[in-house]
Structures are given as C-alpha cells and as structure tokens.
Structure 1
Amino acid sequence: MGVEEHKKSAPKGFRFGVITVSDKGSRGKRKDEAGPLIIKELSELGENVYYKIVPDDKIEILVAIAEAIKSGAEVIVTTGGTGITSSDVTIETVTPLFDKELEFGEIFRYKSYEEIGYAAILTRATGGVIRGRERSVVIFSLPGSVNAVETGLEIIKSEVFHVLKHALE
C-alpha cells in the first residue's frame, strides 16, 4: 500500500494533549506562547483534552504525560526542554518511554537548518510511540520557541493522521 492509500485509511480526527516544559512558565514568570499556539493549530484537526505547564523536572514531565494519557490523548506534544543546558531534561524523560522512535527529529533539524543554519544542531526535537495494553500514544517533543513550534507543527500537521494509523496497528 502506498503513502496516499495509507493516508486515505488513516483516522480523521484525534484527541491531543499539550505539555509546556518551562521553569519560568510554571512559576508564572513567563507567558506561555508555544502551548496555546499548538492548541490553536491542532484544534483544526483534533480535540484538545489536556494542557499543562510544568517545570523542567523529570517527575513533573512524567506525571503530566501520564495525566494526558489518562485524559484520552492519542497525541501528546511537548514544548520546551529540548536544548543542551543542564536544566533541559525533556528528551531524557520522554525517549526511554518510546517503544518505537520516529525520525521526526531528523526532519525537524533539516527544516530548522533551512531557517536558522547550523544553530539547528542545538535542538534535540524527537518523536515516538508509546505502546500500552489497550492503545498507543504518539509523542512529539518540540523546542520552546514559537518559531520552532511553527516549524514542528508544519511537519506534525502534514503527517499526524498517517503516523496515528501505523501507531494504532
């Protein structure tokens, strides 16, 4: 079956959760612009069932992921914590959960390189599938800047239904 045939048989909607990872945002010292942008853009394709701002803390991130899954999210998008500073722990938190890793980060860095040049090496955006007993969940982890979120959403929106089709098989 070709890509177009797969896309035709893919789900037509999905439930999603958004988790913003930010120390300052979680303390109310920085307005979250990335999370609401993700909600706005993905609401054109699915239903938002979860949104939370958490600090750069592995346990807080894991709890938020569990809450998003319990709320029915089939797709979770995190934003923030994907860089290389000592406080950036999103990637270290989410990747051990993956049963299948997507090459989302490769495409994201390529698209970022086209926009910002070699600075794209500083992002560790990623994606993957967590398989549970009863269902699977797709996670995409994006940097926290609005520009990076816009780049990531371009990729996610174009393939999310196709990804879900395979993740649910």
Structure 2
Amino acid sequence: MTSITAAVLTISDKGSTGQRVDEGGPAICELLSGIGAEILFTEIIPDEKEQIKARLIAMTQKVDLVITTGGTGLSPRDVTPDATLEVIDKEIPGIGETMRAEGLRATRRSMLSRAVAGTRGSSLIVNLPGSVKAVRENLAVILDVLPHAIEKIKGGTSDCGR
C-alpha cells in the first residue's frame, strides 16, 4: 500500500470562529486512517476564496492528498470548488461525478454539489460537502481508489487494470 501524507481543510465561516463544531474534518481523518494515511495538518478557515487558494497551494507543497470539506454548494459564500479550480493543474472529473452519483442514492440534492477534484504538482485535492453525513458517504465511495490515484500522480508505472 502506498504511504500517503494528507491534510484536511475545513472551510466554514462559523467553524473558523468557533460558532460551529467541525464534525466533517474528524470524520475525514477517521476514514483516511483506514487506508493508512498520515494526517499531517488539519485546519479550519472561513469561506474566503483567496485564503482557500493560499492554503491549498501551501498544503500541496507538503502532502500527497488534501481533502476539503465545506463550501461546495450554491450559496454566495460557497467558493471552495472555484478556488480549487484556480489552483489545480489537471481536473479529475470522475471523482466528483462518482460522488454525486452515489449521493443521489441518499438525496436528490446531491446533484447540487459543485465538488471537484484535481492535481496540483504531485498532490491530489478533493472537495467534499460540509455535512458529516455527506462527508462519510462521498469519501467512502472514492476511498479505495485514492492510493492508486496518488501513486499515478507521483509517476508510478503500475497498471490501472481491474
């Protein structure tokens, strides 16, 4: 199994000011431990596009995987996907498509998620919704492919066969 270093970035105006307890970030850490990922950073920041971009850039210089939670919806302050798209080198649409498709089994509102995923340098960035239930459902459906994705991003030559 590929050794993975990771960072978890919770994006929440209320969470960043202590008005809401972050449940999504700890859920991500728990799930990532199941694939042997070492969480090097966890942070809560407000829904500020430039701040999100700066943190994504900084974190991708230090870890293999950055998972965000929050800011993927339609409200005016939801800018996580927009910030992510501005810093990634390559988008990986299949990750977002798979999470939305799986989410539709639980709620039709899943189609409203704008979550994206992509690479920056040799790191993978994945956006997750903000609710802990959605975090668990979305991450669970992609979790088993993350080690292979990271291996490929880092230049691994193993086959992608089934």
Q: Which amino acid aligns with 1:40?
A: E
**1:3 corresponding residue in structure 2:** none
**1:79 corresponding residue in structure 2:** 69
Q: Secondary structure at the match of 1:59?
A: helix
Structure 2 unaligned residues grouped into runs of 5+: 156-162
**1:154 corresponding residue in structure 2:** 140
**1:42 corresponding residue in structure 2:** 32
2:77 aligned with 1:91, yes or no? no
Identity of aligned residues (%): 35
Matches within 5 A, 1:17-166: 17-44=7-34, 45-70=36-61, 72-102=62-92, 103-116=94-107, 118-131=108-121, 136-166=122-152
TM-score, length of structure 2 as denominator length: 0.89
Deviation of 1:147 (Å)? 1.2
C-alpha separation in 1, matches of 2:137 and 2:65 = 17
C-alpha separation in 2, matches of 1:109 and 1:98 = 20
TM-score, length of structure 1 as denominator length: 0.86
Residue deviations 1:44-65 (CA, integer Å, cap 9, x gap): 3210011100000012212222
C-alpha separation in 2, matches of 1:139 and 1:51 = 14
1:34/1:79 contact within 8 Å kept: yes
2:157 aligned with 1:167, yes or no? no
Residue deviations 1:4-33 (CA, integer Å, cap 9, x gap): xxxxxxx52200000000000000000000
Matches within 5 A, 1:4-23: 12-23=2-13
Q: Secondary structure at the match of 2:106?
A: helix
Q: Which amino acid aligns with 2:125?
A: I
2:99/2:142 contact within 8 Å kept: no
